[in-house]
Amino acid sequence: MAINLSIVDEKVRNPRVPLTELEQSAFCQVEPLETKPLAEELNAGVRWQRLPDSYVNMTPEELTTRIEANKVQLGSRAVILGHHYQREDIIQFADFRGDSLKLSQYAADQQGSEFIIFCGVHFMAETAAVLGGAHQKVVLPNINAGCSMADMAPTDDALDCWDDLMTTLGTGSVIPVTYMNSTAEIKALVGENGGAVCTSSNADRVVAWAFQQGKRVLFLPDQHLGRNTGAKMGVPLDEMVLWNPFQPLGGNTAEALEQSKMILWKGHCSVHTRFTTDQIARARQEYPDVQVIVHPECMLESVQEADYVGSTELIVKMVSESAPGSVWAIGTEINLVSRLAHENPDKTVFCLDPVVCPCSTMYRIHPAYLLWVTDELLAGRVPNQVSVAPETAHYAKVALDRMLSLS
C-alpha cells in the first residue's frame, strides 16, 4: 500500500474548513427574519456577488413590482424554481417549489423553457443542468450560493480516498453512494465507479441496493444521513467508520476498514446539526402533546429521540395533513418551518432551535439578485449560467439514473 505521506502531512497541517461553513452563523438572530434592502443585508459577514448599485438600495416592494413585471415579459421562456429553504420573498415568484431532486426533475420536464432560474444553491443548479435539455440554460441568481456540506467533499480529497480504499481493500470491495447534496464531480466519481446518488427520502433503498452490489458502502458527504440510514437498516455502529480526509486512511487502520460495513465521509449540514436532544426535551416539557419531527441530516441522538424522521417533502406532507390543533416541533431549516406555520394556522408549528438560523447560502438569494438576472435575460444576456463538463455530466447522470431506476 503506497500512500503519499507528503500530501497527507500537508492536509493534517492545513485542514480546509469550507468558507461556507465559517459563514453559516452570519444571519442567526432571535427575531423573525425579514427581507431588507440588499444594502442592509450586505452587512452580514458572508461573500456576496457584486451587483450594480441600482439594485442595492431598492426596497422589497420595488423589487417585487419589477420582478412581477419581468416574469410577465419572460413568459414561458423562463421558469423559476424555489427550494423549500428559500425566503418567502423568493418563494412568492416560484413557478414550482420543492426539494432539490424534485425541482431538477421538474426543470427537465420544462422542455419549452429556455431558461431555468434555480433559486437554490450551486449543486442543485448543477443537477438541473445534468438532467435538463441541451437547449436549456440554468441560471443561479447569486453565484456565491453554495453548500457547506457539498464543499466538505472536494473532488481531490474524494479521489484520494477512493484510491486509498482500492489499494487497501481491493477493486469491487466498496460501492460508493453520494447524497444529492454533492457536486456534479462527486456524483460523476460515484457513477463511474458503480455507485448511485441518494436523497434523504430514498437513502435506505439506495444503500440496500449498494449492499447487494458489494460488501461495504462509502457514503458521501453527510456522515449523519449515512449513520442514520445504516442504523435504520440494522448496521451496527461499530461497523461504521468515519473517513477524515485530513488523516492517513481517513484516520482508520486497514483492519478497521476491512471490518467495516459503512465508511462515512466526515461532512455534515451546518443547519441540521444545530438540533439537539435538549431542544427536544424542552419542547416536550412546554407542549406535552407535541410531535417532534426532524430531518435525517440531524445527529443520531436527535433522530433517535424524535417521534418522526423524514425528508423535507415528508415533513411538509405530515404537518400539512395532520389534524387541526396538533402541535409540531420541527428540526429543519427555519424558512420552511415558518412557511409551514403560516400555511397551517389551525396548528401549532415551531422550530426546535429558539435561535433563528437560516441556511446562510440559501439566504443569499435576495430578491435583488432575482431582479438582476431577469433584467439580464430580457436584455439578451445570460448571467451566472451553471453548466457541467460533458464527461462529468455523463457519469453524474449515470449515478442519478441508477437512483431513479430504484424508485
The reply to whether 314 and 342 lie within a common domain is yes
Final residue of a structural domain among 249, 270, 291? 270
| pLDDT tens for each residue of 64-119 | 999 999 999 999 999 999 999 999 999 999 999 998 888 888 888 888 999 999 99
CB of 366 closer than 8 Å to CB of 35: yes
130 with 240, same domain: the answer is no
- CA 78 from chain centre, in angstroms, equals 24
Considering the domain architecture, whether residues 216 and 230 belong to the same structural domain is answered as yes
Q: What is the pLDDT of residue 33?
A: 85
pLDDT at 21: 87
The segments of the chain whose pLDDT lies below 50 read: 1-14
Q: Do residue 266 and residue 287 come from a single domain?
A: no
CATH number assigned to the domain comprising residue 313: 3.40.50.10800
- Domain assignment present for 210: yes
CA distance 336 to 340: 6
Nearest to 95 by CA among 65, 66, 124, 74: 74
The number of domains in the chain is: 3
Among residues 214, 245, 270, the one where a domain terminates is 270
Cell readout for 99 is 426539494
Same domain? For 288 and 265 the reply is no
Tell me, yes or no, whether 141 and 52 share the same domain: yes
Please give the DSSP secondary-structure letter assigned to residue 356. B
**What is this structure's pTM?**
0.93
* 100-109 vs 122-131: helix crossing angle, rounded to 10: 40
Give the H or E element holding residue 268: none
Helices (H), 14-95: 19-22, 38-41, 53-56, 60-74, 88-91
d(CA 97, CA 99): 7
| pLDDT at residue number 16 | 65
Q: Is the C-alpha dihedral spanning 344, 345, 350, 351 positive or negative?
A: positive
**The predicted structure's pLDDT at residue 13:** 43
> For residue 345, what are the domain limits?
272-351
